[in-house]
Amino acid sequence: MRAARAAWRPGPGRHNAWEIAIHAAYWKYAAWRRLTGQQRGSFARRGSNWFEAPTPPSEAAWRKDAALLPQYHRMLRASVSQFSDADLGRRAPGGKETIGRLVRGIAAHDLYHAGQIQLIKRLS
């Protein structure tokens, strides 16, 4: 996807594919952090949850932000692979939910936002 298409907004006040991609990367990071007990503050972009796409969009900025998804996905997968089936019922370090619920939740979150991105691509 090119930067201009990723930055296309389906309506005023609506998120674009770029912003959704960074949001999904952030929550992969947040899940990884919870699973590993890492401290906050090491995400590649300043802020949390939702990040605005730059205006005007540039290919270099889009490539940099788009690369966050596979980067944090690899980190998350590596941490999940360290757990046994028995670990899934344990609470995540410093968390309120179990490891299994956290892993299922981030997977569902990814699927939801992947669907949103596909819809936005179709609308654009």
pLDDT tens digit at each of 124 positions of the chain: 999 999 999 999 999 999 999 999 999 999 999 999 888 888 999 999 999 999 999 999 999 999 999 999 999 999 999 999 999 999 988 778 999 999 999 999 999 999 999 999 999 9
Identify whether 117 is part of a domain.
Answer: yes
Identify whether 85 is part of a domain.
Answer: yes
Query: Could you give the C-alpha distances from 39 to 79, 80, 89, 103, in angstroms and in order?
Result: 15, 18, 23, 19
pLDDT of residue 15: 97
* pTM of the model as a whole: 0.93
Q: Tell me the C-alpha distance between 45 and 87, whole Å.
A: 31
Identify whether 42 is part of a domain.
Answer: no
Q: Tell me the C-alpha distance between 124 and 118, whole Å.
A: 10
Residues shown for the chain: 124
Q: What is the CATH number of the domain that holds 108?
A: 1.20.120
> Range of 32's domain?
3-37+57-123
| Count of helices and strands (H, E) across the chain | 5, 0
By CB neighbour count within 10 A (0-12 exposed, 13-18 middle, 19+ buried), where does 88 fall?
Answer: middle
Identify whether 65 is part of a domain.
Answer: yes
Identify whether 43 is part of a domain.
Answer: no
HEC sequence for 63-90: HHHHCHHHHHHHHHHHHHCCCCHHHHHC
Identify whether 16 is part of a domain.
Answer: yes
DSSP letter (8 states) at residue 88: G
pLDDT of residue 93: 83
Q: Tell me the C-alpha distance between 30 and 90, whole Å.
A: 18
